[in-house]
Chains A and B, each alone.
Chain A
Amino acid sequence: MSTLQQVLRQDGTLVSGASPVSDARMKELFVHMVRVRVLDERMLKLQRAGRVGFVGTAKGLEAALIGSASVLRPTDWLWSGLREGGAAVMRGLPLGEYIAQMYCNSNDTAKGRQMCNHFQHKGSNYPSWSSVIGTQIPHGVGAAYAAKQRGKDEVHAIYFGDGATSSNGFHSGMNFAGVWKAPCYFVCIDNGWAISVCSKNQTAAESYADKAEAYGIPGKDVDGNDVLACHQAAKEAHELARKGQPSLIVLKTYRMLGHSSSDDPSKYRSDDEVAAWAAKDPLERFEKLLTARKLLAAGEREKLELAITAEIDAEIHVQEAAPKMALKTLVEDVYADVPLHLRKQYNAFITIAERLGHATPGDGAFPL
């Protein structure tokens, strides 16, 4: 097992005395991390109030997500495993679209077709991802191959969890990337748990990073609660990828809450374990550094949290008033054009829906 890459110690001091990023950039990263935390908390409240169906939080993962994704250029792609929504917001996913997706309403760019927490944003190269664990890994590799083949200076950052390292997609993706020298790198958000399965039941390898060796690519362990280490490791991986050398970085962190709003983690893990990780909170650690450097004034974080909450609440207000979902979306986007059999199926359905008063004028039948 490689040693854990660390830049910022637990006590908020820098290992080498210097930060790899400027003061201004550090401040920005902190704001992004706070936004991830606040957004999660606000979504959980909405879920408890019955306004949205489901939340998969990133609490504890803020440094891993923001630090690593902060190195990506707008032309680079981020392939999401599941919890990277906060990183997508940093890279350009508008808050309104994020919340519309949580509501699965008619403003959602995916037309309410995916369950909550399945974000996408074409404008910042954040493709739609499926619930099927690990399938996005070869997609990212293929897209990286395409970039290379077409002579485009693009890097593809492929994210997944520790559980996904056991999937077919992990194996084929890592293998193909190594053989093809694709301009991509792999980011394993090792948060210790795959729902209720801990890492010792996921693999006999000492670290997930060890798996890289078998594919002929470098792999390293990184302190995932250290935003600067995550930034630095991703920067190195990004540089390697641009030279045609894929690599794996494993960001070791901890999922502080349940797998999702439907999960009770007390059934399978101890309070002591959770408390030990709570003491390593990535926001607090970074806050110590920023405070010591006078980049953050007393009470500034609270003010920031309030401002972000107000911003989110304004968007929630808008999304609560979204118009009804068009019924035609039932059969659209299956193919480029709606084929005859789907038009017929829809028309049969809409006659009944109209009779029952479930349809609005725009929902009318397709021409056959």
Chain B
Amino acid sequence: MHLRDYLSLVAHEIKLNLTSYLSFILIICIFFSTGISMILLTEKMPEVFKSQVPDEWRYDQSIYFKHASHDDFSTLTEMGLRDVRLEFEKQDKLGGAYSFFHKKRELEKPTQITCVNFATKQFVGVTLVKGNPWASEANSSDNSDPTLNPVWVSEEYRKTNKLAVGDIIKLQGNNNYSFSIAGSYKISNEPFFTYDETEEMPELLLGDDPQMLISFNAGALLLEGAGLSTLCDGTATISDEFDHPAYSAKLLEMGILTYGSTIEALLEQIAFVEYFLLALFIVLNLIGLLLLASFISIAIKKRTPFLGMLKALGTKDYVLAILYLIIMEIILCLALVLAFVFGYLLYLLIAGKIGQFYEIGSLGLNTINLRNILLAVAVPHAFMLLAWALAFQKIRNIDVLRIITNRD
């Protein structure tokens, strides 16, 4: 048959039962539009959860995760924290894994980051030094302040070309300052070392009190700038580390927030809600398919005499099946167009309610992007093909002789 013949036959079939076709389109439109609103919501949920994180956190702040890893980056980025970088991730001596994220508007060279030792008040500061500063001995001009011009000479380093925890480094030309290597890390393949001024108590640092070394390793929170030693008022002890309420409170007070469990919970919630909404979308589409399959099967049954006559006249099964494929496609397209409109309205309604619930106002409009369109169009179509296979079988089973001989 020519295309226009297909179309005119289809038009005739639909016209014959216009009201039932129209009401069916409206019925499955309800399911599709609800599904589409779910899809739209999946995109907004990270934003909802992000809204639960205070604004201060957004830029130039460090955040600390107790059990986060590289995998969480994408989610964090989705949450709008676009410049999140993993600064380092390490195992502390107490057995917990800590990840440190540093987020900056633009990440310039992290030449020097001060780590704070908050565990004991004896220690003023721990500085994380990037690169190989002791190698550029010749270029040093001002050696008085290691934080400004970090050039050191290490006896050990000179001998072995290696540095290890516990090594003492001395500032060149100033024997009053010496530092012990408290920890070594690799960040982006460059060596970083934490060290301590050992001016006053070098022995202590060299291992007399192992607890203190632990505190350097585990307790180093990356922060911009110096002068954070006020944190270390001795309120926290080594064993309770970050989780110490006094410590958290202090950080909060300073606008440096720790989101240990909160972030983890948020990440979990986001994943759960996304999967839940997607599953709901699939289920709604599945119901749409079942309805479509039964609607078409009723339609075919109703038109069996006509279809049987066409078959007797020599129409092949697949031609009749294409007829119903076109009918289904028309139903689906109309239902989807309506569903996009209703689904979007429904989304706005639900998003409004969610916004109220979280007290963040409206979630705003959602861009209908390629992913949403693909999902909303492809999934029902995949299901439609299933329904069509059933319809094809129904058509194949129409017994021409039964119709011709009136044997029913």
Query: Is B one of A's binding partners?
Result: no
Q: Residues of B at under 8 Å CB distance from A?
A: none
